[in-house]
Structure formats: structure tokens, C-alpha cells
Structure 1
């Protein structure tokens, strides 16, 4: 029944909730937290959190759903990441600003692609997996970039996309992670049905809130037990086998 949260913004929780999560880890059989970063300040915060608790496994990067950083900011972040490459399990979260462009169609995606390529270049150089924010129309673009940079260890978190892209990703062996919205979102349930369990992980993307049975609750990794039950039901597999597969998939992918 062991679980690992493969994608959480731990540094974005307030101190009280963060302490509660860490306190509850043993109770909810949560072994590790893969905590992703938004920018340099966030990367430093996650790094410092990991020094205090070895169960926190940090990833460093720049979240694309925010205004473009300056060249100086990108260079500083990449330099810091290279210096701390032995302190991170992955580069992330990185990707393309799909939701930001829905709000402002005038945003130039090409500038974000340039930045993403710099992170992919670093991932190849230091041999780290990448945690990707790439959904819908952006996913094929990112798949092309992964091919271009010969990146094979790719994790698409909270993925949403068309069946052709889903099949392409599965063929490449890319990982996806499933959030608690699998308990009520048909689109995510269909993704779970289509994607191989051996390439699947679970996540919360906390502190992002959820609806359905979780409506009104703050996002706690313990919610992922409901995700596992739903995945097992969709796949028609014994829940013990699904727990073990999701757990081992994450351990193997991140070498933790």
C-alpha cells in the first residue's frame, strides 16, 4: 500500500499544511515526495526543504505558465541547476504555457520553446529525467523536441491530449502521472484505460485543489489512495498489484 507523490509543489504550501503533510507521511504510507519548482527562488526553497528531510526529492526548473523570464534569469537558473545537479532527481517542472495562451492568445510560444530547449539540453548533459507540463496541442511539439534532443526519460504530469499523441508517448515509453481527478473526470479515466500501467505514476500537483469527493478539502497526498482504487477499477486489476506497479514505476524512473 506504499505510495509516492510524483509531482507536488511542496514549497507552495503554507508552513502549517507542509508540516502536516510531513507528519502524516508514515500514517498514509507515503514514502517520498517529488517536489517540483517554479523558478530559481522555488528551486532554492525545495533544495533547502530536502536538506531537512530526506523523503523530499527535489526537481529544479521553470514552470511555463508564467511570464517569460529574462535571459539573465534563465542563465542564472541554469547555472545554479548545473551546480546543484547532484541534489536534484529531475529537471522540472518545465514545458509550454498552454493555459496562459488560452487567456492571452498573443503570447509567443516560440520564446517558451527556446527556453524549454535549454532545459532539455541540460537534461541530456547531466543525464536527468525531465518533468513536463505539456498538454493538448503542446504535447506533440514537446514530443518532437524530446526526439530532437534524444531525451528518453520524460514524465508528462497531469497529461491531457489526443489519442494519437497518447499512443506516440506510450510507444516511446514516456511516463504519465494521474491526479485525484481520475475519481471524477471522464477524460482522465479514458487516459488511464488507454495507457499502459507500467508507464504510470500518481501525483497530487498540490496544493492545486480538486473537486468531486474532494470538494472543499485542501490537497493532501493521502488523497492518492483514492486514485489508486480508481485506477485499479478502470484497469480491472487487483488493487495490490496496482499499488506495487505505481510505486515501483516511480522508484525505477527516478532512481530513488
Structure 2
């Protein structure tokens, strides 16, 4: 380990309290300087705000994860009010996006209300001048890019991105960030994206507590896994690990304007 790391996307609120304490207590030992903890819904956001108050290394983003039923109008209003009230303390709007996997399970799902909700969050990110954290993969990424370009969004982060070469080119043209998960160690699709995507537009994440396979089988997803991701990125990019550590750290710190 040669440089500090930042987990650019984790659902810290979704871990058990015991797991949360374990991760927070081990941050220093594992060189983890900060965690970008995204929210799934209103209660999730409240938990992340509480965790951030407990540990200054936890940085909160507020949004509504699209891979679930649409929120009620009341919850949307509560979320938007919370974002406004917490604008000085949160670092981003997220996680937001479109329900790719939910639509695969239910092809009758109507997409328009999800697009409308995402547009509301994009408008809020522009109004508050906050980065937006996106769940937008494959063909959904093109729809999201249309909205981002409509509102001239400058700071967008496509977490765990997957998509075509043409979509990759479009993301790069907008200088949008992506983040790499530990599955880069064994997934060819992610390795190909790493090969094509510029280092200066890349971050690293875990998306914990989502579990990973092969070297991480039956292991609780922990920010320390990022060290292994960095080793793999260095191998693919044919650069030394220190270069990758520094790039991932500085990219994330600058994108999120972190004071760490």
C-alpha cells in the first residue's frame, strides 16, 4: 500500500451496525481516507447522515435508487426537502438513474415516471451545483446522457458502468467519470472498459455490501478490496501501482471537492 484510497461508491447504511463499525474502525489501518456513501431512499439518507455525523470520513450523497418501486409523491417531496436542507453537508445527488435490471424482470414496467424522477434529480444537481451519481448501464446510459446533455451537466459519475464502445466514447466526450469495482479482477467486460477509459476520468469503488466472486468469495465487501482493484488497473494500463493510487485518489478528491 503506497497511497491512501477513497471508496467512491458504497452503501454503508445497508451493512449491519456491527459491519459498519468494523469498516469504520479499520479505515485507518487499510489506508481508506473517505467513503462516498450513497442513499437508496429517504430513510437510507437519514442513516447516512447519521453515519457521517459519527465519522467525518463518511461523505453522504442523497438520492433514490431506481431498482425499486417508484417513491410516493410524499417521499419525493421529503427527499427534495432533505437535499435542500442538507445542501451544505452532502457532496452529491445519488444514487439515481434508471431501472435496467427491474425492467429485465418486468418488461411491462413503464419507464417514463423513472425518467421524470431522474430529470428532477438532475435539475436539483444543477441548481445546487452538486455532482450526480448514476446507476445507468448499457442502453439506459444513452437515455441518461441525453438528459445530462439537455441540462449541460458537467459533473456526472457513472458508477460500475457497463456499456458499448460508442457509449464509452460519448461519456469520454463529456468528461464524465466512471468507477471501477473489485470484479475488475475477474470480469473481462470491466477489464476492457479499463483499457479504453482515460485514467484521469476514473475512480474506484466497492458498491458494498454487494458481494464479489473468485478471490472475494464469501468475504464481506470491504473498502480494502480497492487495493486489489488498483493492482489490476495498473496491470491493464501497464503503469506502476503508485501512479494508479495517486490518480484514483486525486480524481475522487477533486471531483467531489473533498476536504480530507
- TM-score, with structure 1 as normaliser: 0.99
Matches within 5 A, 1:173-184: 173-184=175-186
Matches within 5 A, 1:95-174: 95-174=97-176
Distance in structure 1 (CA, Å) of the matches to 2:248 and 2:64: 26
Aligned to 1:82: 84
Q: Which runs of 5+ in 1 are unaligned?
A: none
1:193 aligns with 2:183: no
User: 2:221 is paired with a residue of what secondary structure?
Assistant: coil
Distance in structure 2 (CA, Å) of the matches to 1:161 and 1:110: 21
Over aligned residues, Cα RMSD in angstroms?
0.6
Aligned to 1:204: 206
Distance in structure 1 (CA, Å) of the matches to 2:77 and 2:233: 41
User: 1:114 is paired with a residue of what secondary structure?
Assistant: helix
Aligned to 1:253: 255
Q: Which runs of 5+ in 2 are unaligned?
A: none
Aligned to 2:31: 29
Distance in structure 2 (CA, Å) of the matches to 1:80 and 1:240: 39
Aligned to 2:19: 17
Distance in structure 1 (CA, Å) of the matches to 2:73 and 2:127: 20
| Deviation of 1:71 (Å) | 1.7
| Deviation of 1:149 (Å) | 1.1
1:98-143, Cα deviation, whole Å (9 max, x unpaired): 0000010111111100000000011010100000000011000000
Distance in structure 1 (CA, Å) of the matches to 2:79 and 2:252: 26
1:242 aligns with 2:214: no
Distance in structure 2 (CA, Å) of the matches to 1:145 and 1:197: 25
- TM-score, with structure 2 as normaliser: 0.98
Q: Provide the aligned length of Structure 1 versus Structure 2.
A: 256
1:212-240, Cα deviation, whole Å (9 max, x unpaired): 11111110110110000000000000110
User: 1:226 is paired with a residue of what secondary structure?
Assistant: helix
Q: Which runs of 4+ in 1 moved over 4 A?
A: none
